Chains A and B, each alone.
Chain A
Amino acid sequence: MFGIETLTGSTQAAALVGVVLVEAMVLYVGYGALESAVGSTVLKLLGGN
C-alpha cells in the first residue's frame, strides 16, 4: 500500500509508522472539523432541544 512495499527493512518500518502517524493526524483534524461543523447540532438533537 502507498508503494511502501518497494522499501526495505528499517526504511519500510519507519515509512509504515510515518503513514500511521499521518493518518492519525489527518483523522484528528478531519473529525475535529466535522465536530466543529455539526457537533453543536448533534448535541442539541441528542439533548432533545
Chain B
Amino acid sequence: MFELFGISAGLLAMFVGFGLLIGVLFGFFGMGGSFLVTPALLVMGYPSRVAVGSGLAFVFGTSVIATLKHRDLGQVDYKLGVSMIIGTTVGLEVGKEIVLYLEELGLAGNIISVTYVLLLGGIGAFVTYEALKGGDGDGGVSHDVEEDAEINADDIPEIAKKIQSYSLPPMITLRGGIQVSLWMVLLVAFATGLLSGFLGVGGGFIRMPALFYLIGVPVPIAVGTDLFEIMFSGGIGSFLYAQSGGVDLSIVAPLLAGSALGARVGSAATSIVNEDEIKIYFGLMLLLGALAVAVRQAGNYLGMGVLDYVSLALILGSALMVAGAVIYSALKSIRAPGSAGVTAD
C-alpha cells in the first residue's frame, strides 16, 4: 500500500480529515484539541506517552495558527494573556502537587475521573442553560466585537460584574474597555490552572468560559486570549514529552495540515455566526464529553474494552455535530439577505 511519512495513505487521509474537524472547533471555540485527539489516539492503540505527547504537539501547532488568525481579527488581549499565563503556571504546579499527594494515598485515579466528569458536565449544563435562557434575546454577547470598542453593560454576566466591582489595585484595562483588578485575573487564572494541573488537561474548556463568565471578557477576545495561552502551555508540554520520545511527527504533521484549514474556517466563522446559536451545541458537546469520560471510566472499572469505543464514538459524534453546526450557521449567515459585506477575514 502507498505510504507517506511512514504511515499508510488511508491513515494519512483519516488524520487530515480528523484534523479538519478539530480545527473548526478549535478556531471557533478556542478549545477541543487534546480533549479529542488524545482519547482517539489511545483507542487506536498508541501508547499513552505518544497519545498525550503528540496530542500536545498538535494542540501547540493548531493554537499557533488559530492565535495568528485571532490576532489578525484583533481578538487577542496580550496583557490579559500574560497575566493569565502567570496565574495559570502557579495553579498548574499546585494542581500537580495535589495529584502527587492523592497518588500517595492511592485515590488519584478515581477522584480525578469523578472531578473531570462533574466539571465537564457542570460547565456543559451551565453553558446550555445560559444559551437556552438567552434564546429570547435577553443577554448574550455578539461575536462582532470591535478591537477596542466599549462593550454593552447588559452583555456582561452578573458574576463578572461582581468581580469587576472589586477595585483592588493595580487595576488593568482590557480590550472592550473592561477595568478589572489584576489580582482578580490572577485568582481566576490560578483556579483554572489548578483544575487543569489536577485534571491533566489543556484547560481551554475551563479557561474560555472563566474568562467570559468570571472576568466579563467578550467571547471572541476570551477565545483569542485563551489560544494565546494554550500556545505557551502546548509548546512547553510537547517539549517535555518530546524529550522522552512522546511526539510522533507522522501523527502530528497530517493532523496539523487538516486543522490549519479547519481553524481558518472556524476563526472566520466567529465573525459571522451568532454565538447564541452555537453556544447550545457547545454545551451539549461538553455534556457528551462528560458522558464519554464516565463511560470510559466504567469500562476500565468493569474491564469492558468495548466501552472505550463507545466513549470514542460519543466524543467524535459530538465533535462532528458541533463542527457541522458551526459550518451550517456560517453558510446560513452567508446566504442570508443583506450579507454581502461578509468576508472570510
Q: Does any Cβ of A come within 8 Å of B334's Cβ? A: yes
Q: How far is the CB of B325 from chain A (nearest CB, A)?
A: 16
Contacts of A23 in B (CB 8 A): 61, 253, 256-257
> Which DSSP category, helix, strand, loop or mixed, fits chain B's interface?
helix
Closest to B250 in A: A1
Chain B positions within 8 Å of A, measured between CB atoms, are: 5-6, 57-58, 60-62, 64-65, 68-69, 235, 238-240, 242-243, 247, 249-250, 252-253, 256-257, 260-261, 264, 331, 334-335, 339-340, 342-345
Partner of B64, one of A2, A28, A42: A28
| Alpha-carbon gap, A23 to B250, bound state (A) | 13
What per-residue 1/0 map shows which CB atoms of A10-47 lie under 8 Å from chain B?
A: 10111011011101110110011001000110110011
The 6 residue pairs across chains A and B that have the minimum distance between CB atoms? A13-B242, A27-B260, A24-B64, A24-B61, A13-B243, A16-B242
Q: Which of B61, B69, B243 is close to A9, meaning CB atoms less than 8 Å apart?
A: B243
Q: Which residues of A contact B (CB under 8 A)?
A: 1-2, 4, 9-10, 12-14, 16-17, 19-21, 23-25, 27-28, 31-32, 35, 39-40, 42-43, 46-48
Distance (whole angstroms) from the CB of A29 to the closest CB of chain B = 9
Chain A minimum-CB-distance residue to B331: A46
Closest Cβ–Cβ distance, residue B52 to chain A (whole Å): 14
How many A-B contacts at CB < 8 Å in the complex? 93
CB-defined A-B contacts under 8 Å, sample of 7? A20-B60, A20-B247, A23-B61, A24-B62, A24-B64, A28-B64, A47-B335
Chain B residues whose C-beta falls within 8 Å of the C-beta of A32 in the assembled complex: 264
Given A35-B264, A47-B339; A17-B60 close (CB under 8 Å): yes
Contact present for B335 and A19 (CB under 8 Å): no
Given known pairs A13-B242, A46-B335, the reply for A20 and B264 (CB within 8 Å) is: no
Which of chain B's residues have a CB closer than 8 A to the CB of A47? 334-335, 339-340, 342
* A46 nearest in chain B by CB position: B334
The answer to whether A20 touches B57, judged by C-beta atoms less than 8 angstroms apart, is yes
A28 touches B57 (CB 8 A): no
In contact, A31 and B264 (Cβ under 8 angstroms)? yes
Per the bound structure, the CA–CA distance linking A4 and B339 in Å amounts to 49
**Which B residues are CB-close (under 8 A) to A12?**
242-243
Whole-angstrom distance between the Cβ of B291 and the nearest chain A Cβ: 32
Task: Output the least CB separation between A27 and chain B (Å).
Answer: 4
The answer, among B65, B240, B344, for a CB contact under 8 Å with A28, is B65
Contacts of B261 in A (CB 8 A): 27, 31
CA distance A10 to B243 in the complex (A): 6
A40 to B163, CA, bound (A): 43
Asked if A24 and B256 make an inter-chain contact with CB atoms under 8 angstroms apart, the answer reads yes
